[in-house]
């Protein structure tokens, strides 16, 4: 009776432990193993009934078990009697996929016991953590590259502006200057895409034309995707939208890239724009393999991906969803297997003349006064000084903290142009020094990096105005004119 109670208790333990337990009988001269018994955890982990497994060879029930490495371990344990651990590995076949860690031992009867843990959830969490770390690192790297790249563009843009401002030269090379300016604009857009990976990306919302935004994003995409046929259907006379162009371009590019992967870089990508009631929409439709109905509700979840292991982070669509939601919009999906997938973005329409006001071209504002320009990049410093001299200002340049302090203490300065990214955070020290000398000092911050840390952003917010590199002489003249004349 006592033995029966013990057996019953052991059976209850067998069926209630979280670990999967399977008992095998060796066959085929210890080269294969037949399922003799499994506990309930095996049923749950492997999503099978006992009837499906009992009596089957392990190689039949799990056809990729040899590739997984467990069959070899079981054969060795069956021969030597020494228990072994097979550390966590990913098992995948047509029926099931998951991470498993196995402990294999041999009983006195010769039967083999496999006790294993389902490590899938733990591994998924680890993967999410590693992906977030990689994205953070990418953001830091992107920010640094973008800053340096914008400084290079600043030097080129400044030189082009100076040529434009030289009457005796400009007429002969006006077309070439326009080509340079166009190339700089393309480079700036690419840099903004790079900065889309950065942390603390500042929102730069403005009134934009939807069709222009879509065309610009397609222009970037088609440079590296020339095998896809693109059909564009634009609705005329659309209302404007107020958005961060960099973020919306990031969303569109992500949808284009996903579509190209779904079509194996060979198919038809159709873009439509239009307006329904008070929403402007952009639809992106591909002729790819489609998305199953049962997972369509999951595709905007963080880290969910339909791509193969290592082929995607599962962050693209969730990031896109967040960006559109932050713009008070929405994004939907419609798909049929082996026919198409279509993502549609809806954004609030702006029924006003705001767009026209945003794109009005202003003239260059000439002026007078003494300006102090502080930048530790000598080529950028020289370029800005030349631009300002052409605009009529007396300009003093400083490349270091000490040079700036000496110049500010020596001369009567009407306005300071301060680069935000200097060695040893000298820009922060200089701002505090200048404001300690004159709390009303007029300061304009300059930066090629829109993803600065909080301490820099606090300084930028306290400046009278700010300007992003690269900038034109016209833009610079407008910002300076407004600050000098207290125009908000």
**What's the pLDDT score for residue 144?**
67
Decide if 217 contacts 256 (C-beta within 8 A). yes
Q: How far apart are CA 104 and CA 111, in angstroms?
A: 11
Written as six digits, the tokens of 57 are 């060879």
Q: How far apart are CA 388 and CA 368, in angstroms?
A: 10
For range 379-400, the mean pLDDT: 92
Is a pLDDT exceeding 90 seen at residue 161? no
Write the class of the CATH domain 2-118: alpha beta
Give the residue from 107, 81, 94 showing the smallest Cα distance to 21: 107
Q: Which of 59-73, 306-320, 355-369 has the lowest mean pLDDT?
A: 306-320
For range 83-100, the mean pLDDT: 92
Three-state secondary structure of 26-68: EECCCCEEEEEEECHHHHHHHCCCHHHHCCCEHHHHCCCHHHH
Q: DSSP label at 411?
A: S
Q: How far apart are CA 470 and CA 157, in angstroms?
A: 7
Is a pLDDT exceeding 90 seen at residue 356? no
Written as six digits, the tokens of 10 are 């052991």
CA quadruple 172, 177, 179, 182: dihedral sign: negative
Written as six digits, the tokens of 309 are 């292991």
**What's the pLDDT score for residue 316?**
65
Provide the H-helix boundaries in 263-351. Answer: 316-326
The three-state secondary structure class of 443 is strand
Is a pLDDT exceeding 50 seen at residue 359? no
Q: How far apart are CA 247 and CA 195, in angstroms?
A: 10
The three-state secondary structure class of 300 is coil
CATH of 203-360, one of 1.20.58.100, 3.40.720.10, 3.30.565.10, 3.90.1150.10: 3.30.565.10
Confirm whether 2-118 and 203-360 share one CATH topology. no
Please give the share of the chain, as a percent, with pLDDT higher than 90: 43
At residue 450 the predicted structure's pLDDT band, cuts being 50, 70 and 90, is low
What pLDDT, in 10s, does the model give residues 176-195? 777 777 777 777 766 665 66
Pairing of strands 205-208, 241-244: antiparallel
For the chain, the average pLDDT equals: 83
Is a pLDDT exceeding 50 seen at residue 266? yes
| 20/169: higher pLDDT | 20
Please name the helix (run of DSSP H) or strand (run of DSSP E) that holds residue 189, with its range, or none: helix 174-195
**What's the pLDDT score for residue 456?**
77
What are φ and ψ of residue 242, in 5° steps? -105, 105
* In 197-337, beta strands by DSSP E: 205-208, 229-233, 241-244, 268-276, 279-286, 330-336
User: Residue 373: beta bridge partners?
Assistant: 397, 417
Angle at 162 between CA 159 and CA 163, to 5 degrees: 90
**What's the pLDDT score for residue 142?**
65
At residue 371 the predicted structure's pLDDT band, cuts being 50, 70 and 90, is very high
Please give the share of the chain, as a percent, with pLDDT higher than 70: 83
Q: Which of 111-125, 129-143, 252-266 has the lowest mean pLDDT?
A: 129-143
Locate the domains of the chain by residue range: 2-118, 203-360, 362-484
What pLDDT, in 10s, does the model give residues 465-477? 988 888 888 889 9
Tell me the range of 43-47, 259-263, 356-360, 425-429 where mean pLDDT is highest: 43-47
**What's the pLDDT score for residue 29?**
92
Written as six digits, the tokens of 149 are 């790249």
Q: Which of 165-174, 293-302, 345-354, 395-404 has the lowest mean pLDDT?
A: 165-174
**What's the pLDDT score for residue 309?**
45
- Give domain 362-484's CATH superfamily: Response regulator (3.40.50.2300)
Is a pLDDT exceeding 50 seen at residue 120? yes
């Amino acid at each position: 009776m006592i033995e029966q109670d013990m057996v019953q208790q052991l059976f209850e333990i067998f069926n209630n432990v979280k670990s999967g337990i399977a008992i095998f009988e060796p066959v085929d001269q210890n080269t294969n193993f037949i399922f003799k018994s499994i506990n309930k955890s095996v049923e749950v982990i492997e999503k099978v009934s006992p009837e499906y497994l009992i009596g089957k060879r392990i190689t039949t029930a799990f056809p990729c078990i040899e590739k997984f490495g467990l069959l070899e371990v079981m054969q060795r344990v069956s021969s030597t009697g020494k228990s072994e651990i097979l550390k966590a590995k990913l098992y995948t076949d047509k029926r099931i996929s998951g991470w498993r860690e196995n402990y294999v031992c041999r009983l006195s009867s010769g039967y083999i016991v496999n006790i294993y843990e389902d490590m899938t959830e733990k591994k998924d969490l680890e993967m999410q953590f590693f992906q977030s770390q990689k994205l953070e690192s990418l953001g830091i790297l992107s920010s640094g590259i973008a800053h340096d790249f914008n400084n290079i563009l600043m030097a080129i843009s400044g030189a082009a502006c100076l040529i434009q401002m030289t009457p005796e030269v400009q007429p002969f090379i006006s077309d070439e200057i326009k080509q340079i300016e166009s190339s700089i604009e393309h480079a700036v857009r690419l840099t903004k895409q790079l900065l889309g990976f950065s942390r603390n990306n500042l929102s730069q919302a403005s009134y934009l034309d939807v069709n222009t935004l879509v065309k610009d994003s397609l222009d970037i995409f088609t440079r590296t995707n020339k095998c896809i046929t693109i059909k564009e259907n634009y609705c005329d006379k659309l209302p404007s939208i107020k958005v961060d162009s960099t973020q919306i371009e990031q969303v569109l590019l992500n949808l284009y890239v996903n579509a190209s992967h779904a079509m194996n870089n060979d198919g038809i990508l159709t873009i439509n724009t239009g307006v329904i009631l008070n929403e402007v929409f952009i639809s992106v439709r591909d002729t790819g393999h489609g998305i199953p109905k049962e997972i369509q509700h999951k595709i905007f979840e963080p880290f969910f991906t339909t791509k193969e292991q290592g082929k995607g982070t599962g962050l693209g669509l969730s990031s896109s969803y967040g960006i559109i939601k932050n713009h008070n919009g929405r994004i939907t999906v419609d798909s049929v297997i082996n026919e198409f997938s279509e993502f549609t973005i809806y954004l609030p329409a702006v029924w006003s003349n705001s767009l026209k006001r945003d794109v009005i071209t202003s003239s260059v504002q000439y002026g007078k006064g003494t300006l102090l320009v502080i930048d530790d990049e000598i080529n950028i410093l020289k370029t800005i000084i030349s631009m300002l001299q052409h605009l009529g200002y007396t300009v003093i340049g400083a490349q270091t903290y000490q040079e700036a302090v000496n110049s500010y203490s020596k001369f009567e300065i009407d306005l300071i142009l301060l680069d935000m990214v200097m060695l040893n955070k000298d820009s922060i020290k200089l701002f505090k020094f200048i404001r300690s000398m004159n709390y009303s000092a007029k300061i304009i911050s300059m930066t090629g990096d829109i993803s600065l840390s909080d301490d820099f952003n606090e300084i930028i917010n306290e400046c009278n105005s700010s300007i992003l590199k690269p900038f034109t002489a016209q833009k610079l003249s407008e910002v300076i004119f407004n600050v000098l004349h207290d125009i908000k």
